[in-house]
Structures are given as C-alpha cells and as structure tokens.
Amino acid sequence: MTYVLGARCSDGVVLVADRKVTSGDGATVKFESKIFRETGSIFIGYSGSDITNLNFRYDASATVNRLREAGKQIEFQGLVRELEDVLRRINARYGDRVLQRNDVLIAAKLNDPQLATLRYIAPEGAGSEISEYKAIGTGAPYGDVFLKRLWRNDLTMNSVAEIGYFIIKYIEYGSGNLSAHGLGC
C-alpha cells in the first residue's frame, strides 16, 4: 500500500511518503524512497505500479538531462508541463498491463525564499495547484480520515510530517510494514 502526502504549510511545502514497494506479482517486497529530487529544490513523490514508477523516474531524469544539455534553464512550470506529458505517456503505454496507474506530487521552493508550491499530476497527465494538502496512493482514503479532522492552515512542515508519519504507521498496522520518508522545501 502506498501513501504519499503533500502539504502546503505555514513555513513551506512538505512531502511525506512510505517506503514499501511491492512487485506487480505481490511476491517481492523492498524498501526504497518514493520521493526523489531531479533538480534544485524540486522534489517529486509518486504512487502506482512499481513498473510504471521505475519508468516514470527514468523518463523524468531523462527529461531534466535533455533540458540541461539543450542549455535551457529548468523552470518549474515548464518542468511540470514536461512531466505531465511523461506521466500521460507512461500510463497510456502500461495502463492495460498494470493494476495501478501513476500519479505524482511535485513540491518546490522557488527563487523567492518565501515562495513554495505544490502541484498534483493526475494519471491522465493533467496538473493542478494544491492549496492545502493532497494524498495519493492506495492509502490515501485512510489518511483522509485523519487529515480532514486535523488539518489547519497554520500547520508547520514539522507538524504535517508528524501527522504523515502517524498516518503511515496507522496504515502499517493494518497492512504490513511500511517505512516513512519525508522531505520539506
């Protein structure tokens, strides 16, 4: 079960995710980060099939490298548009071969130290701005029970990370061993 939480906090944005990855056939379990950084202070959290996750991560990295090699400055909105296309292409290619399609949360601290942003990219490849919080993965409905009750706009990144950790442990209790990981911008 995957749980990735992105939240806009009073002091920035934060991503919190479990680390348990189960193979498509359910036979293999490993632990790895579901949050990665490709450039600067832009962090990406993802959920979905392990097969599509690997392809998304590879293609996201190739996209950033292509932009760098072309001498282009990597700006946030342009990268989001590129990743929308990457996600749509991967989900279309593997959609009928895997159980879960990917979706993505992108957190970034932009040039202005006070400016942080959080975006969600749906499996179809459409991105949207998140003004409060968004959880993705099969564990999201379980976490929403707590988030709806505990959410306040004045929560700090540390507070949200603690709530995310609690939710992951709650899900872990019901579904096996998950491991938490989080990054803030």
% of the chain at pLDDT higher than 90: 50
Burial class of residue 29 in the structure, from the number of CB atoms within 10 Å of its CB (0-12 exposed, 13-18 middle, 19+ buried)? exposed
Q: How confident is the model at residue 24 (pLDDT cuts 50, 70, 90)?
A: low
* Choice between 171 and 99, residue whose per-residue pLDDT is larger: 171
3-state helix, strand, coil in the chain (%, to 5): 35, 30, 35
pLDDT at 126 (0 to 100): 94
Q: What length is written for the chain?
A: 185
Choose among 4, 6, 2: nearest CA to 151: 6
Contact (Cβ atoms closer than 8 angstroms) between residue 105 and residue 4: yes
pLDDT per residue over 129-154, tens digit each? 999 999 999 899 999 999 999 999 99
Structure letter (DSSP) for residue 110? -
Quick check: 53 pLDDT over 90?
A: no
Nearest to 171 by CA among 147, 149, 138: 138
pLDDT at 156 over 80: yes
- pLDDT tens-digit profile of 60-79? 999 888 888 888 777 888 88
3-class SS of residue 83: helix
The CATH superfamily assigned to 4-184 is Aminohydrolase, N-terminal nucleophile (Ntn) domain (3.60.20.10)
Domain boundaries, the chain: 4-184
Higher pLDDT, 176 or 58: 58
Helix ranges restricted to H, the chain: 50-69, 76-94, 140-150, 157-175
* Residue keyed to tokens 């968004």: 134
Contact partners, residue 77, CB within 8 Å, separation at least 6: none
| pLDDT higher than 70, residue 176 | no
Alpha helices for 95-156 (secondary structure H) = 140-150
